[in-house]
Amino acid sequence: MSTPVPDPRSMPQPTARTVARRCAPANWLIPTGLVLLSLVPVVAGSLRLAELVGGPPIVPDGDRVAAAPVALVTHIVSVTVFSLVGAFQFAPGLRRRHRAWHRAAGRVLVTCGLLTAGTGLWLTLFLPPAAVDSELLVAIRVVVSVAMATCVGVVSARSGAATSPRTGPG
């Protein structure tokens, strides 16, 4: 004789409070980890921006990268917003309780992601090459920027972030 299998629909469902309690560590662990990961490029980018507006030359190669100042500034600003705001999109509680914020941030992040990839590609192709640049590094940068733009485009299309004010990511 086989043991009867209980119908999952008749089993008690977790309450909203139980779900919130289970997600509590993820609410701060994921954004904290992602913000920590972003710190090095964000600090390096800030030092470069400070240098471009007349600050001391702390980051090497200033003259070379200043050959494309608009692309470089756009790259650094969009990468900074993408990394820091993007980190909070992965907090389950924030996503659930502040859906309007999550959707608005999603639209900003799509723009910043595309700008990051586009300016990254531009810098790869049009900056004078550094001593350490090789053909392989250039090829990797081209592949990564196309992959990043494609991923951002696919996520945006799937969530409706770029087109519909009602059905943003979520």
Contacts to ligand HEM by CB under 6 A:
41, 44-45, 48, 59, 61, 65, 75-76, 79, 83, 116-117, 120-121, 123-124, 127, 130, 141, 144-145, 148
For the four alpha carbons of 39, 45, 49 and 52, in that order, the dihedral sign comes to positive
Q: How far is 23 from 101, CA to CA, in rounded Å?
A: 19
Query: Nearest to residue 31, comparing CAs of 73, 68, 86, 106?
Result: 86
Q: How far is 78 from 114, CA to CA, in rounded Å?
A: 9
CB 52 within 8 A of CB 73: yes
Amino acid occupying residue 66: A
Between residues 24 and 39, which has the closer beta carbon with respect to ligand HEM? 39
Burial of 17-52, coded b for 16+ CB within 10 Å and e otherwise, reads: eeeeeeeeeebeebbeebeeebeeebeebebbeebe
Between residues 19 and 39, which has the closer beta carbon with respect to ligand HEM? 39
Between residues 23 and 49, which has the closer beta carbon with respect to ligand HEM? 49
Q: Minimal distance in Å, beta carbon 84 to ligand HEM? A: 10
Q: Minimal distance in Å, beta carbon 25 to ligand HEM? A: 25
Secondary element (H or E) of residue 93: helix 92-97
Between residues 81 and 161, which has the closer beta carbon with respect to ligand HEM? 81
Between residues 62 and 165, which has the closer beta carbon with respect to ligand HEM? 62
